[in-house]
Amino acid sequence: MLEFFVENGYTLFWLAVAIATAVVEGMTCGLVSVWFVPGALVALVISFFCDLFWVQLLAFLLISLASLILVKTVFKKYLPNQKAFRSNSDALIGERGIVLETVDNLHETGSVKIRSLVWTARSSDDRTVLPEGSFVIVEDISGVKLICKPDSKQNADRTQK
């Protein structure tokens, strides 16, 4: 039995690597080790024909790298996008609102209504004062304050009417 393991050591090693990386990938479901499986399988096949470990290892590394690049580029559109998972207040970034109280950073005043909720607001530029009734776009959130900039398109449409 020991003789079998000595003669087939590299083959068994690559088989174990392929199985282990597939199991890890199955347990995580997060594209953690899937690219190592093809590399280990290619190294396993090479181990039948070549006893040089460095050749097998080189093949493993090259195929794993190629798999990594292929998986990341082909499946990039199917992977979750960080912007798609915005929740709570982060979902307000990019939203439009209306100024209820003049937003003036120097006097530390201002409130904006977005989605029927009133938020404390500040201008993205300390020199810009956003008058009551004007439209704004949320650029960022700092603590519990919305950082806004004027919505020039909405404000221009409003002044033309």
Determine the average pLDDT of the residues in 120-144: 91
Q: Tens of pLDDT along 48-94?
A: 888 888 999 999 999 999 998 888 787 777 666 555 555 566 778 88
Could you tell me if 51 and 111 lie in one domain? no
The answer to whether residues 14 and 50 belong to one domain is yes
Has residue 82 been placed in a domain?
no
pLDDT band at 161 (very low <50, low <70, confident <90, very high): low
- Look up the pTM and report it: 0.47
Range of the domain at 136: 88-154
Count of structural domains, the chain: 2
Same domain, 115 and 65: no
Could you tell me if 32 and 94 lie in one domain? no
Task: Answer yes or no: do 101 and 47 share one domain.
Answer: no
Task: Convert the chain into a string of H (helix), E (strand) and C (coil).
Answer: CHHHHHHCHHHHHHHHHHHHHHHHHHHHCCCCCCCHHHHHHHHHHHHHHCCCHHHHHHHHHHHHHHHHHHHHHHCCCCCCCHHHHCCHHHHHCCCEEEEEEEEECCCCEEEEEECCEEEEEEECCCCCCECCCCEEEEEEEECCEEEEEECHHHHHHHHHC
